[in-house]
A and B are shown apart, each in its own frame.
Chain A
């Protein structure tokens, strides 16, 4: 009875103040939405990785592959079977169906270990025959099947839990479709083998047996991306909590007399606190529900961008549908309640210690404010130290985020002290008494506005930091593309015969200067995928290749046949430098080469190295010799491409001119950062909302401070104008502080986090026009946020201001 009665009294406060209620619910809902939305995106992506990793039991069964990334020969497979090994062949390859990229996986169902292919899929004679023989049958995930409906393919049977973009069929069908007869990519090793078998290497020296990977490759590769998303989600959550903190704090101050009255009427302190906690639980559960609905919608809207980003950055397949567990829904509500508890902790603590009677000698505002600022300064200092120690002891990705978190929150905590010092100076030096009052009053309000300004500082500086990083990346990447894509045309044959025909046709043309083979062997270097390219010694490379660091005459050393150039990612990952030796796992025997130099290779998710073409062909004689870069008279390139396509009846994708390839790369770049840009904008929007709600809630408490000035002859319009000036000026000062802070964030992103996450380092640029744009945005946000309270003030009936005097006790 007591609890419900107290709740009636407490909750009636929110009913009577709908705007404050909306602020609280919206702040908490938005914070929860951004956080749980990001978690939903991460969960969807991770579920996709898990599906990809568990395909054909790759996470459970041993497998056999050929050294140096070569295909397994049919003879080796037969030799293993004859020796008694229970192995099943798999052929994998990329293809396109109606212009859509797909991965074709060919299996041999009779020899597959039990459970490798979904239960019951090929059980029974009819099912098995349908799969093994024409007209064939394929398996695909629901969204892949839907996307390929109507394509020129055999019947597709929908199977849940397959990775997106993958088609599984009989190996005979797949090898015909890929035009790779008698090739095997890997062998799945059955779990039960006969005892006493000869070792794989003894039977087929080119093959190696590898145990199942305990940890998901894609999971570890994309970890940094998800950490980045989580960091954004957390940042938005923190910014959202500023709104909640401001609203709950204001509600507490407004209800302080009510709490005293309830206590005076006989409600115990414990009953009042319990009622406050129950009220908070009810409100935060409601907001949490709203938040997870918003979060779901946000995640659904951003998922295509995330899928594009992950595909572009890591080549990771991510399904376009969200699959959310009940745990996610529970966690959404939980995070809302925890956030509300965190934001309301100070108010609840004050309520707990509140006496019924006003304390004798209330502490002056000034003293309390000074103490608060001092505590914030000390906290900032402590955070700075923690961040530095965290970074020094753990200089990796986590250390980078700790450094950034410490820098951002530390700077935000220092902001009110900096503003207070500036305003104190301005008040002291103002000659006009009204101006002095203006500055002093602005300073007095700093306490109420500081949380919103801190949120604005965080959002602006993260925007500047991320914007600088993305813009810097764009500038570097586009410049790098111009260097790397020097050939006028890129051509490829579907098989060796066609590639030969292309080569012969092009070499006969007078406008062609040279053909540069793009032939590569793929293998794993210390567990990491690497592409090794063989190049002809040509000025195209010497003049254009973006070298970062090298021994003298690197190209001469490479063409000598015993040196390699390696990508920045490979160098950073294994701490390699020019002059070091790199041991390449050639099929017959390891091949040690000297590292002649390091070049930038932005955007590549795997390692890369370059050696002389003859040296590559000597050690990897079976590399596919299908693609060429064509140096030709640029003016003739378009005609040449058209004639080549027509003469040899080539497909659209077989002849690509430089500009089309650059356009494609740029498009991939833009989608890669789409989700970052979207989250960035959302965070700024939340900060704008924080500013708006704090100003609106503060406006109610402003009247007693403005009434004396009005009584002394300042018109309401002047007071309103000054209120607007105050807000805009504080926002402008905050934007000014955000510039160096944002540049610091950009430095951490480019010099620490990107290096860890992607393996490359970008040069740091400054973009003053971007600063200006964001500063203007901050001013517009502040003006809009201040507009409603100011408009209310201008229209305030004088009787309201008079009542303030008649009510004064």
Chain B
């Protein structure tokens, strides 16, 4: 589903990632931990086709991402991926229902019943007409998770999705994500700085100084 081979990324002369190898199969969930500045977000951005590596190869959903142009990368993001951001990145001018449906519509996989069931599972009933500014942090994050799952993308990339939530809300959000990922057979790359949350994943990797430590075993 996702495969990184010898991926290197530098900002100026400073290497942020240095020859990272990583593979994630369909239905797998992987927690990626690391200190601030270790390169977690950079790795996720590369996997999400938001940025291009300086060296190495990235394969996502059967497509070599690193060689694509901007339009090609946009196509991969629309077709093969769904993202959950730390800042939620909801569309502020659309109500919750439209936000949940947005990426599914963009990918051409909109299913109203599926969106409604996700909203129900994530406890968003009754909030459909609210706008993002009227939601609490936990509610906004659940909308972001619903949006990612509604698109039925084969791979979900989550960047510290519980970073803005208190411990209880973060745990609840992660439980839901893991349950839904398992049920739908989606692959999940979960970036977090919390070793406590990472401990709940069967597969874990730790990023330090731009390298996976220890090297990830399949």
- Residue-wise, chain B 97-122 has the 8 Å CB interface mask toward A (1 for contact) of 01000110111100000000000000
* Cβ-based interface call for A784 (8 A): no
**Which chain B residues lie closer than 8 Å to A16 at the CB level?**
92-93, 131
Interface size on A, residues (CB 8 A): 27
Query: Are B98 and A8 closer than 8 Å at their CB atoms?
Result: yes
Of the listed stretches A266-274, A445-453, A652-660, A661-669, chain B binds A266-274
Query: Are A1 and B89 closer than 8 Å at their CB atoms?
Result: no
In the complex, A704 Cα to B117 Cα: how many Å? 39
Query: Are A265 and B70 closer than 8 Å at their CB atoms?
Result: no
Query: Are B77 and A357 closer than 8 Å at their CB atoms?
Result: no
* Cβ-based interface call for A804 (8 A): no
Q: What is the number of contacts between chain A and chain B, taking CB atoms within 8 Å?
A: 73
User: What is the CB-to-nearest-CB distance from A266 to chain B, in angstroms, rounded to a whole number?
Assistant: 3
CB contact list, B35-84 vs A, under 8 A: 45, 48, 50-51, 70-71, 74-79, 81, 83
In the complex, A360 Cα to B87 Cα: how many Å? 18
* Cβ-based interface call for B91 (8 A): yes
* Cβ-based interface call for A809 (8 A): yes
Among residues of A, the one whose C-beta sits closest to the C-beta of B69 is A268
Which among A9, A13, A357 has the greatest number of chain B C-beta atoms within 10 A? Answer: A9
With A266-B75, A357-B50 already in contact, the answer to whether A9 and B83 are too (CB < 8 A) is: no
In the complex, A174 Cα to B190 Cα: how many Å? 99
**Which chain A residues lie closer than 8 Å to B45 at the CB level?**
357
In the complex, A270 Cα to B89 Cα: how many Å? 21
Interface size on B, residues (CB 8 A): 31
**Which chain A residues lie closer than 8 Å to B108 at the CB level?**
1
CB contact list, A15-45 vs B, under 8 A: 15-16
Query: Are A269 and B91 closer than 8 Å at their CB atoms?
Result: no
Among residues of A, the one whose C-beta sits closest to the C-beta of B70 is A269
Query: Are A265 and B94 closer than 8 Å at their CB atoms?
Result: no
**Which chain A residues lie closer than 8 Å to B98 at the CB level?**
8, 12
Per a CB cutoff under 8 Å, which of B11, B71, B83 touches A264? B83
* Cβ-based interface call for A111 (8 A): no
Among residues of B, the one whose C-beta sits closest to the C-beta of A12 is B93
Query: Are A9 and B91 closer than 8 Å at their CB atoms?
Result: yes
Query: Are B77 and A265 closer than 8 Å at their CB atoms?
Result: yes
User: What is the CB-to-nearest-CB distance from A15 to chain B, in angstroms, rounded to a whole number?
Assistant: 7
Query: Are B94 and A5 closer than 8 Å at their CB atoms?
Result: no
With A5-B105, A257-B89, A360-B11 already in contact, the answer to whether A268 and B94 are too (CB < 8 A) is: no
With A1-B108, A5-B102 already in contact, the answer to whether A267 and B51 are too (CB < 8 A) is: no
Per a CB cutoff under 8 Å, which of B51, B85, B93, B106 touches A2? B106
**Which chain B residues lie closer than 8 Å to A260 at the CB level?**
89
Query: Are A258 and B91 closer than 8 Å at their CB atoms?
Result: yes
Among residues of A, the one whose C-beta sits closest to the C-beta of B108 is A1
Query: Are A357 and B11 closer than 8 Å at their CB atoms?
Result: no
Please name the 9 residue pairs, one residue from A and one from B, whose CB atoms are nearest each other, closest first: A266-B78, A12-B93, A268-B74, A266-B77, A261-B89, A16-B93, A13-B93, A268-B71, A265-B103
Q: Give 19 CB contacts A-B under 8 Å.
A: A2-B106, A8-B94, A9-B102, A12-B91, A12-B93, A12-B98, A13-B93, A263-B74, A264-B48, A264-B85, A265-B103, A266-B77, A266-B81, A266-B103, A266-B106, A266-B107, A268-B70, A270-B71, A360-B11
